[in-house]
């Protein structure tokens, strides 16, 4: 491998040809891509680089989409609850929702699919008691005065969400609003495949079609209220795969009954963070089958034209599911993931596909996803890039990523010479890491970790979406720490545990999240076979790490169903008059070299026995507890917010619970980390902080070296 | 009324006769009492004062009690959960419980009343699968390995809890452990009544028998583990009224089935803070009937001897229930309540009984209830007394209390001349307040408040126990503020609302507490008739004040079932992906003269509509919200911790929700308060703080006066 060239995808921009090619040289780019809103000139296309072309099939032919409103994508919405002032209530269906995005579908399936609910009681209103009236309203008769009523109804979407976001973010004013067509209609499928054929013919320079992504966007409901401009967004929910056609096909194919309420869930929709229902999982499979069937045809077309087919695993990714077990059947040549964090890099790296590529941040837009300046006044793109790269790089030490790249308007970079230099350094660092992986992977710890959630393997290395969207999710923070630790990590669901017990290749089971969430598992903890299997497995020598409200559900004497194993349980307010054991803080291997100072108060947690070791507490409430249970061990942590000390504490906790010794290779300074590549006899030492750091690098036979690393720096030490 | 004499009960102590009589003069005492552990000498008995004699009938004849172990009081316990390591599990019933307090009752009702549970599943183990074995153990066979098992079993108590507490607190070493007999046995009843007769004959000087209290103590389980010396304690729970005889009588009398698990509740017992079950309420009535029947006979005996009968409403008070509606049937001449707080004074003042008496704190013991020094080195009894008196006095401004007094060892006071002086001042202040009530009560605000809880009137002016035991209870804090505010306050339960709607004499309904508690109402909020009735009532002009998690239960689209009225709801973690309305803070009459700075974060609270006014917030989360709903109004407060500013904010909130104008009489300084007695044309102005304060006193027609009050002081202004 060339150490100064390759593995880098650069976003080219027509009209800035010389700058594009200069940056390609500076960053060692072997591929040039276009982006949403940019195009490539002939000069770039003929520059000898590989060429990625972005293509979002469902929004490619906007004229046809506009002329065929009945072929646009749809979804269910729940109207805002209206309190009935008398025996009749009139509900304005779209009140609060963006009229730029949604139009009520009043032509197909109103009686078949819509549902009206008394939300005070949760009881459905008989279909005879309500009617559509003019102006997108529903009138409900014979209601109970002062109860609240809602309508679940179908809407067509007249603005595709990524188009909407890019448009609003970049002030595209009079540019056309793109619409997404529903590919389940045979005529739409035919048009998409034909368009793809035509496109391939028309784009001979393109070496790789970069699908963005396939057919269905994640759910994103916009509002028309300046105080509530976005109503609902979930990177993993399948709300946008609904249409009368899909609903009818689902019933016919599966024999299962699915209703609007299965999607609406009393206004909670099908958020990934909540435990999925069985019928919703069936719907996801049904959608996955369709996306695979049509997606595979698209890949075949691309391959027929001698081009590669990569897919961007964000935006319209719903139904792709790289961890469904069927992902290879698409035949994609590469998977591209937009990353801010280490866990997203692991998500990409772990997928079964020939090429793994990361699209780094910052995106070359004037502002970032949260509206803060990047390449506009007040922005500091080097600082942003360095922060993200340091996050991502520690994951790359553990798992191989083949390519990195950027996206957006390259011309925005022109005034930022420091940014140009920094990306060159990032590209070089990536190529070095990649070469060490190619020569033979890093040494891993002997402890194998499994994360238990309601989703299991399907949501490998993600809780859905980027960390900044939901930094409060404990499991996301745990995954971020794990992404740079030397453990093999797998993901399990409750069915697997119930059917087969804890797999033989697991040493430590992790359950992390708040009560009721898909991540801790919610009602799954009422399955006593699961509780029994894990208890028996720990008793026989297994390790358990519980974070936040592990195994929590309100049942019988306990709130943490694994309280006996964890040595702690939680009073959620119904044990006011039960006293709590006092304890003394003890030192413990879990806080070796770190402490428990950043563990949060999880109100009401108490010790269930005398023999647990409390190594961290707030007031009289334990926040860090280590316990032995028969032959096994457990560690309870009240929470986890990723950071150098927290990551090391998690590392310690897993090693202690798994009865492993201390780490083979470790830095003395927790702000730095080390990975060892035995085949290359090379240590990579990274500085995860934005200040200079000095650290010793320790191996089993002593200190290897003492190194000084600049802010965010990396160095290789060869034995 | 004499301004320097009367209304004061002094605890005399034999051997300190001259000091007793000196203090009686100094404090204007008209009554001298004995206390647990003290006696009165002939000199004191013949001093011309009234004489109260404490009497706790159930623990009076300890020899008989020791010789009749089958006639002692009993209760259910749940053994500590034991994880089964195999197909059989052996459970040590009393593991962790105090062997000084409990003995397993293995002679009566084992098969009839005990229950064994698989606490992993919550399912009862068939009676055939378990047996008592030697050493107070139960063996359970055919269990599921790694499940947790418990036994609900009956114990006899061999140490009455107040005897135990006084003994341990005062280091009584070899003094006898008193035992409480079960008065349901006819022979025990006969003995008690005869003993009372004999006692009355033997105590001619006694003018008032002060029952301490009647028959059953509140629940208090002691442990034998130094890390868990008290396992469970609840001032209002009826756990100690259980016995085989009572259980059989209940079934025969009511026809209802009640089981050990109805008392054990998976280890939560019958804590007052949890919503009571219907069968438990039936049990309470059944116990109340018995206590009334026997208690009335006791009062009759006392009256037959020409003595008064007062009852101390603490300790063995279970079954007395001054707010059951039947309290007057006992025929008591007085009710005595131990008080630390204003709400406890209101509890006493509101009971229907001729004489209302408060026993102030500190108790004349070396240490207080929490083990801190009072009359021992390091103690500051004046500081304690002043703090408690200031709390209590503001309630006395609003409701008449006839008498105050102290308890314990008077001799402990001897070295504290400042304390002797301070109590003299307290006695004078009380006599002045009492005289103003006697001439005509204080002017009240026009707004009438009702507190809605699962208990309703039965738990008037209390959440069970003293504030320092559970300062985290929102409703206790609300009651403490209300105790000194000029509102009429009543207490409602959900049956009343469901059956009759909100009563006509209510202007503002208050619901305050955490989700799931008896105070917010728990599952009662699933009764849609209640939600409808309150919604309709507010719409028609009623006022609602919700504090903490008002109307919270997880149902349908909402967590706060009155979300539409309150303008806020709460995301308990299942709405991660639903966005929240932004808002701007506004000024509002609710925070007139105060602010919302001390309102706590109640995570996940969000606005449900655009028209609510947020007057306090933490980050983006509203903590204080005022809303209009049709003709009515509501105020949401995220919590409440009593204090001068919080009390005033609650005052404002109630007035605003009730559409009343500002207060007629108010001080400019919230650390002071004023009450106006129209019949006497007198203002009482109190300083609630421990520093000197200056304040203006305002009346509708302007400023009445500007006054300077010493720390904790009080002054009367006559127009």
3-state secondary structure B271-285: CCCECCCHHHHHHHH
Asked whether residue B247 is domain-assigned, the answer is no
The reported pLDDT for the residue numbered B339 is 97
Asked whether residue B296 is domain-assigned, the answer is no
A129 is catalytic: no
Q: For residue A587, give its domain range.
A: 448-657
Q: How far is A538 from chain B (nearest CA, A)?
A: 10
Q: Please state, in angstroms and as integers, the Cα–Cα distance from residue A312 to each residue in A355, A519, B692, following that order.
A: 12, 25, 71
Q: What tens digit of pLDDT does each residue of A70-118 get?
A: 999 999 999 999 999 999 999 999 999 999 999 999 999 999 999 999 9
What is the Cα gyration radius of chain B? 27
Q: Are strands B558-560 and A568-570 parallel, antiparallel or unpaired?
A: unpaired
Cα separation, A477 vs A638, in Å, equals 13
> Is the Cβ of B555 closer than 8 Å to some Cβ of chain A?
yes
**CB < 8 Å to A472, chain B:** 576
CB atoms within 10 A of CB A197: 14
CB atoms within 10 A of CB B540: 12
Which domain-ending residue is among B640, B657, B674? B657
The reported pLDDT for the residue numbered B35 is 84
B471 and B607 inside one domain: yes
A593 and A706 inside one domain: no
Q: Is the pLDDT of residue A215 over 60?
A: yes
The reported pLDDT for the residue numbered B2 is 59
Asked whether residue A114 is domain-assigned, the answer is no
Q: What tens digit of pLDDT does each residue of A229-286 get?
A: 999 999 999 999 999 999 999 999 999 999 999 999 999 999 999 999 999 999 999 9
CATH number for B350: 3.20.20.80
Nearest to B280 by CA among B219, B343, B348, B351: B219
Cα separation, A420 vs A397, in Å, equals 24
Asked whether residue A120 is domain-assigned, the answer is no
- Specify which residues A698 forms β-bridges with: A666, A703
A646 and A675 inside one domain: no
Residues of B with active-site annotation: 315
Nearest to B119 among A269, A536, A557 (CB): A557
Nearest to A246 by CA among A299, A288, A301: A288
A545 and A486 inside one domain: yes
Which domain-ending residue is among A612, A631, A657? A657
The reported pLDDT for the residue numbered B369 is 82
Cis peptide before B190 (omega within 30 of 0): no
Quickly list DSSP for A311-340.
EESSSSBBT--TTSS-GGGG--SEEEEE-S
What is the number of CB-based contacts under 8 A between chain A and chain B?
176
Asked whether residue A228 is domain-assigned, the answer is no
Asked whether residue A304 is domain-assigned, the answer is yes
- Specify which residues A450 forms β-bridges with: A490, A509
The reported pLDDT for the residue numbered A37 is 77
CATH number for A624: 3.40.50.880
Asked whether residue B48 is domain-assigned, the answer is yes
Mean pLDDT computed over every residue of chain A: 96
Cα separation, B182 vs B84, in Å, equals 36
User: What's the whole-model pTM score?
Assistant: 0.96
Pick the residue from chain B with its C-alpha nearest to A536. Answer: B146
Q: What is the mean pLDDT of residues B100-112?
A: 96
Give me A303's structure tokens: 């391959």
Q: What tens digit of pLDDT does each residue of B369-406 get?
A: 888 999 999 999 999 999 999 999 999 999 999 999 99
Run of H or E residues at B487: none
Pick the residue from chain A with its C-alpha nearest to B630. Answer: A85
SS (H, E, C) A134-199: CCCEEEEECCCCCCEEEEEEEEEECCCHHHHHHHHHCCCCCCCCCCCECCCCHHHHHHHHHHHHHH
- In a 13 Å sphere around the CA of B305, the CA atoms on its Cβ side amount to 22
A587 and A690 inside one domain: no
CB atoms within 10 A of CB A1: 11
B697 and B609 inside one domain: no
- Long-range residue pairs from B18-24, CB within 8 A, at least 24 positions apart, any chain: B19/B410, B19/B411, B19/B414, B20/B44, B20/B410, B21/B47, B23/B410, B23/B413, B23/B420, B24/B49
CATH number for B676: 2.60.40.1180
Q: What tens digit of pLDDT does each residue of A470-524 get?
A: 999 999 999 999 999 999 999 999 999 999 999 999 999 999 999 999 999 999 9
Q: What tens digit of pLDDT does each residue of B675-688 get?
A: 999 999 999 999 99
How would residue A2 be classed by pLDDT, with cut points 50, 70 and 90? low
A457 and A427 inside one domain: no
Asked whether residue A135 is domain-assigned, the answer is no
A377 and A472 inside one domain: no
Nearest to B516 among A558, A564, A574 (CB): A574
> Is the Cβ of A516 closer than 8 Å to some Cβ of chain B?
yes
Number of domains observed in the structure of chain A: 3
How would residue A308 be classed by pLDDT, with cut points 50, 70 and 90? very high
Q: What tens digit of pLDDT does each residue of B184-201 get?
A: 999 999 999 999 999 999
- Specify which residues B124 forms β-bridges with: B117
Report the percentage of chain A scoring pLDDT > 90.
94
Give me B274's structure tokens: 């949890």
How would residue A595 be classed by pLDDT, with cut points 50, 70 and 90? confident
Nearest to B581 among A228, A514, A539 (CB): A228
* Cβ within 8 Å, pair B268-A578: yes
B332 and B376 inside one domain: yes
Which domain-ending residue is among A408, A439, A470? A439
Cα separation, B479 vs B462, in Å, equals 7
Which of these is catalytic: A34, A61, A234, A315? A315
> Is the Cβ of A96 closer than 8 Å to some Cβ of chain B?
no
What is the Cα gyration radius of chain A? 27
B203 and B323 inside one domain: yes
CB atoms within 10 A of CB A47: 18
Give the ipTM of the model, two decimals please: 0.95
Nearest to B480 by CA among B460, B498, B499, B461: B461
Q: What tens digit of pLDDT does each residue of B476-529 get?
A: 999 999 999 999 999 999 999 999 999 999 999 999 999 999 999 999 999 999
Q: What tens digit of pLDDT does each residue of A149-202 get?
A: 999 999 999 999 999 998 988 888 889 999 999 999 999 999 999 999 999 999
> Is the Cβ of B177 closer than 8 Å to some Cβ of chain A?
no
A595 and A501 inside one domain: yes
Q: Which phi and psi (to 5°) does residue B456 adopt? A: 60, -145
Nearest to A227 among B225, B556, B582 (CB): B582
B606 and B708 inside one domain: no
How would residue B173 be classed by pLDDT, with cut points 50, 70 and 90? confident
Mean pLDDT computed over every residue of chain B: 96
């Amino acid at each position: 491998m060339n150490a100064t060239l390759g593995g880098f995808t650069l976003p080219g921009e027509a009209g800035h040809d010389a700058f594009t090619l200069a940056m390609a040289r500076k960053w060692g780019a072997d591929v040039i891509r276009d982006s949403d809103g940019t195009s490539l000139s002939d000069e770039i296309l003929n520059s000898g680089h590989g060429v990625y072309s972005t293509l979002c099939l469902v929004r490619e032919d906007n004229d046809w989409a506009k002329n065929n409103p009945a072929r646009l994508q749809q979804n269910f919405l729940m109207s805002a609850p209206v309190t009935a002032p008398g025996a009749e209530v009139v509900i304005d269906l779209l009140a609060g929702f963006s009229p730029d995005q949604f139009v009520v579908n009043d032509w197909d399936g109103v009686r078949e699919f819509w549902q009206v609910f008394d939300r005070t009681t949760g009881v459905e209103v008989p279909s005879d008691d309500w009617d559509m009236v003019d102006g997108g309203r529903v009138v409900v008769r014979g209601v109970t005065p002062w109860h609240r009523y809602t309508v679940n109804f179908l809407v067509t979407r007249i603005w595709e969400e990524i188009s909407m976001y890019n448009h609003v973010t970049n002030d595209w004013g009079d540019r056309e609003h793109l619409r997404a067509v529903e590919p389940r209609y045979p005529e739409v499928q035919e048009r998409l495949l034909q368009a793809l054929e035509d496109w391939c013919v028309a784009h001979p320079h393109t070496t790789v079609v970069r699908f963005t992504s396939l057919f269905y966007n994640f759910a994103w409901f916009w509002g028309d209220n300046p105080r509530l401009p976005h109503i609902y967004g979930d990177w993993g929910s399948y709300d946008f795969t609904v249409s009368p056609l899909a609903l009818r096909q689902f019933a016919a194919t599966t024999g299962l009954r699915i209703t609007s309420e299965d999607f609406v869930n009393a206004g909670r929709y099908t958020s990934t963070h909540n435990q999925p229902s069985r019928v919703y999982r069936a719907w996801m499979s049904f959608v996955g089958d369709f996306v695979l069937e049509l997606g595979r045809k698209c890949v075949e077309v691309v391959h027929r034209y001698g081009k590669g087919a990569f897919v961007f695993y964000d935006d319209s990714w719903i139904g792709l599911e790289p961890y469904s077990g069927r992902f290879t059947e698409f035949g994609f040549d590469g998977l591209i993931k937009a990353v801010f964090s280490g866990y997203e890099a692991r998500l990409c790296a772990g997928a079964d596909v020939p090429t793994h590529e990361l699209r780094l941040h910052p995106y070359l837009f004037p502002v970032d996803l949260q509206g803060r300046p990047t390449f506009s006044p007040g922005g500091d793109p080097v600082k942003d890039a360095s922060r993200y790269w340091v996050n991502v790089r520690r994951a790359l030490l553990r798992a191989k990523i083949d390519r990195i790249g950027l996206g957006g308007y390259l011309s925005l970079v022109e005034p930022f010479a420091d940014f140009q230099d920094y990306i060159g350094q990032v590209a070089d660092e990536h190529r070095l890491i990649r070469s060490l992986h190619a020569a033979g992977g890093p040494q891993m710890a002997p402890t194998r970790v499994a994360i238990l959630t309601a989703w299991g393997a399907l949501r490998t290395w993600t809780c859905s979406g980027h960390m900044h969207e939901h930094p409060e999710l404990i499991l996301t923070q745990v995954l971020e720490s794990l992404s740079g630790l030397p453990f093999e990590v797998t993901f399990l669901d409750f069915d697997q545990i119930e059917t087969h017990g804890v797999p033989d290749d697991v040493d430590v089971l992790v359950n992390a999240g708040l009560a009721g969430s898909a991540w801790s598992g919610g009602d799954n903890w009422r399955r006593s076979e699961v509780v029994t299997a894990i208890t028996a497995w720990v008793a026989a020598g297994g390790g358990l790490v519980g974070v936040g409200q592990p195994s929590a559900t309100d049942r019988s004497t306990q709130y943490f169903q694994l309280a006996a194993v964890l040595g702690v349980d939680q009073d959620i307010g119904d044990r006011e008059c039960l006293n709590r054991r006092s304890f003394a803080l003890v030192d413990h291997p879990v806080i070796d070299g770190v402490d428990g100072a950043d563990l949060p108060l999880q109100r009401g947690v108490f010790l269930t026995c005398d023999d647990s070791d409390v190594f961290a507490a707030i007031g009289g409430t334990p926040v860090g507890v280590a316990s032995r249970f028969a032959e096994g061990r457990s560690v309870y942590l009240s929470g986890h917010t990723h950071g150098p000390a927290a990551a090391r504490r998690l590392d310690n906790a897993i090693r202690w619970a798994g009865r492993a010794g201390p780490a083979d290779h470790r830095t003395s300074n927790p702000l730095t980390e080390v990975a060892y590549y035995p085949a290359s006899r090379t240590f990579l030492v990274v500085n995860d902080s934005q200040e200079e750091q000095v650290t010793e690098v320790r191996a089993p036979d002593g200190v290897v070296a003492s190194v000084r690393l600049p802010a965010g720096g990396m160095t290789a030490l060869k034995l």
